[in-house]
Structure 1
Amino acid sequence: MARIKIELPANFTFSTTIPVRITDVNYGGHVGNDSILSMLHEARMRFLKHLGYSELSLEGVSLIMADVAIEFKAELFYGEEVIASVAATEFSKVGFELYYKLEKEVEGARKLVATAKTGMICFNYDTRKVAAVPALAAEKLQA
Structure 2
Amino acid sequence: MPRIKLTMPTHFSFTAEIPIRITDINVGGHVGNDSVLSLIHELRVKFLRHHDYQELDMAGVGLIMSDVTIEFRSELFYGDTLRGSIAAAEFSRVGFDLYYKLEKLTNEKWVAVSFARTGMVCFNYATKKIAPVPKEAINKLLS
- TM-score, structure 2 normalization: 0.99
Q: Percent identity?
A: 57
1:28 counterpart residue number? 28
Query: How far apart are the structure 1 equivalents of 2:85 and 2:43?
Result: 8
1:4 corresponds to which letter in structure 2?
I
1:133 corresponds to 2:133: yes
Q: In the TM superposition, what whole-angstrom CA distance separates every residue of 1:73-129 from its partner, at most 9, and x where no partner exists? A: 000000001000001000000000000000001111110000000000000011110
- TM-score, structure 1 normalization: 0.99
Query: How far apart are the structure 2 equivalents of 1:119 and 1:134?
Result: 16
Q: Spell out structure 1 runs of 4+ moving beyond 2 A.
A: none
| Corresponding pairs, count | 143
Structure 1 unaligned segments of length 5 or more: list them: none
1:106 counterpart residue number? 106
2:81 counterpart residue number? 81
Q: Kindly state the Cα deviation for residue 32 of structure 1 after the two structures are TM-superposed.
A: 0.2
2:74 corresponds to which letter in structure 1?
A
The DSSP-based 3-state class of the residue aligned with 2:65 is strand
Spell out the pairing of 1:1-143 with structure 2 (5 A cutoff). Answer: 1-143=1-143
1:140 corresponds to which letter in structure 2?
K
CA RMSD of aligned residues (A): 0.4
